[in-house]
Amino acid sequence: MTHNVHLKPWNKPKPNEVAGKGNIEVPGQVENIVWQTRAAPPTEYETRLGDALEVAFDEGIEDLDGLVAKLNEIGVQTQDGQAWTVDAFTAEMARLGY
């Protein structure tokens, strides 16, 4: 025998033409979080804060007290120029949508 007589022929895939079918999310029923729908690029303050948080995470810091301590150590202040506290950090993350 030179081939498999029971092998079914290959069918070329074709896209589904039903709207929304095959999508991970259902259009119109997905809650987009703030950073997905921001109207402007991040401010200089937001960029500095994000960079400082990356440094902290790279160092393995993941607890809230450790993050706040690292931000203060690096010298990144709150938007109004104050040292970070746990309450200030939590409020700022809520304001920024995280």
pLDDT of residue 77: 96
**What is the per-residue pLDDT for 56?**
97
Calculate the average pLDDT of the chain.
82
Instruction: Inform me whether the pLDDT recorded for 35 exceeds 60.
Output: no
* pTM of the predicted structure, to 2 decimals: 0.63
Whole-number Å distance between alpha carbons of 40 and 66: 30
How far is C-alpha 85 from the chain's CA centre? 23
CA distances from 71 to 52, 58, 90 (A): 6, 13, 13
Is the CB of residue 76 less than 8 Å from the CB of residue 48?
yes
pLDDT reading at 9 higher than 80: no
Query: Would you place residue 29 in the very low, low, confident or very high pLDDT band (cuts 50, 70, 90)?
Result: confident
Mean pLDDT across 33-58: 84
- What pLDDT is stored for residue 28 in this prediction? 72
Say which DSSP state 11 is in: P
